[in-house]
Amino acid sequence: MKKDKILIVDDKEENLISLERILSDFDVEFVRASSGEDALKYTLKDEFAMAVLDVQMPEMDGYETLELMRQRKKTKYLPVIFVSAIHQSDLHIIKGIETGAVDFIPKPIIPEVLKGKVSVFLDLYRQRKELDLLLVYLEKKNEELIIEKNKAEEATRSKSLFLANMSHEIRSPMNGILGLSKLLLQSELNSEQKEMLDVMARSGENLIQIINDILDYSKIEAGQIEIEEIDFDIRKVTDTIFHLLNYKAIEREIEFKIEVDEIIPENLIGDSFRLNQVLMNLTNNAIKFTQNGSVTLSIKCIEKSKEHVSLFFTIKDTGIGISKDAQKKLFREFTQSDSSITREYGGTGLGLAISKNITQLMGGKIIVESELGVGSEFMFELKFGCKERKENMPIHQNITLPSNLSILVAEDNPINQKVVTLTLRMMGLTCDIAKNGVEALELYKKNRHQIILMDMQMPVLDGISATEKIRSFEISETIDEPTYIVALTANSFIEDKQKCTEAGMNDFLTKPFKEADLRKILSQASKSIAQ
Q: Are 6 and 28 in contact (CB under 8 A)?
A: yes
Q: For residues 32 and 390, give the distance between their C-alpha atoms in angstroms, rounded to a whole number.
A: 92
Strand partners, 409: 433, 453
Q: For residues 393 and 386, give the distance between their C-alpha atoms in angstroms, rounded to a whole number.
A: 16
Q: What does the pLDDT read at residue 392? A: 43
3-state secondary structure of 486: strand
Q: Are 275 and 241 in contact (CB under 8 A)?
A: no
Q: For residues 214 and 188, give the distance between their C-alpha atoms in angstroms, rounded to a whole number.
A: 37
Please, where are the H alpha helices in 186-233?
Answer: 191-221
Q: Are 171 and 490 in contact (CB under 8 A)?
A: yes
Question: Could you tell me which of 149, 129, 151 has the C-alpha nearest to residue 141?
Answer: 149
Q: What does the pLDDT read at residue 250? A: 78
In this structure, are strands 484-489 and 451-455 parallel, antiparallel, or unpaired?
parallel
Q: What does the pLDDT read at residue 464? A: 92
CA–centroid distance for 174 within its chain? 29
* 206 C-beta neighbours (distance < 10 Å), count: 12
Question: Could you tell me which of 467, 471, 484, 480 has the C-alpha nearest to residue 528?
Answer: 484
What is the b/e burial string over 124-148, where b = at least 16 CB atoms within 10 angstroms of the residue's CB?
ebeeeeeeeeeeeeeeeeeeeeeee
Q: For residues 178 and 197, give the distance between their C-alpha atoms in angstroms, rounded to a whole number.
A: 9
Taking only Cα atoms into account, the Rg of the chain, rounded to an integer number of angstroms, comes to 40
Cα 73-76-79 angle, rounded to 5 deg: 145
In this structure, are strands 80-84 and 50-54 parallel, antiparallel, or unpaired?
parallel
pLDDT, one tens digit for every residue, the chain (531 residues): 789 999 999 999 999 999 999 999 999 999 999 999 999 999 999 999 999 999 989 889 999 999 999 999 999 999 999 998 875 567 777 888 888 899 888 888 999 999 999 999 999 999 999 999 999 999 999 999 999 988 887 877 777 667 666 666 776 777 777 777 777 877 788 878 877 887 787 777 777 777 777 777 766 766 667 788 999 999 888 888 887 787 788 788 888 888 989 899 989 999 998 999 899 999 999 999 999 999 999 999 999 998 999 999 999 999 999 888 888 878 775 555 555 554 455 555 678 888 998 999 999 999 999 999 899 999 999 999 987 655 444 444 456 788 889 999 999 888 778 878 878 887 889 999 999 999 999 999 999 999 999 998 888 898 999 999 999 999 998 888 899 999 988 665 556 678 888 889 999 887 767 777 888 899 989 888 876
Q: Which amino acid, 289?
A: F
DSSP state of 10: -
Cα 496-239-393 angle, rounded to 5 deg: 70
* 361 C-beta neighbours (distance < 10 Å), count: 15
CA distances from 252 to 17, 274, 284, 319 (A): 101, 27, 12, 12
Question: Could you tell me which of 315, 323, 314 has the C-alpha nearest to residue 373?
Answer: 323
Residues near 283 by beta carbon (within 8 Å), at least 6 away in sequence: 241, 245, 295, 297, 315
What spatial distance separates the first Cα and last Cα of the chain, rounded to whole Å?
87
Length of the chain: 531
The whole model's pTM is what? 0.46
Task: Please report how many Cα atoms fall inside a 13 Å half-sphere around the Cα of residue 393, on the Cβ side.
Answer: 8
Q: What does the pLDDT read at residue 447? A: 92
Q: For residues 393 and 290, give the distance between their C-alpha atoms in angstroms, rounded to a whole number.
A: 39
Q: For residues 155 and 57, give the distance between their C-alpha atoms in angstroms, rounded to a whole number.
A: 69
3-state secondary structure of 285: helix
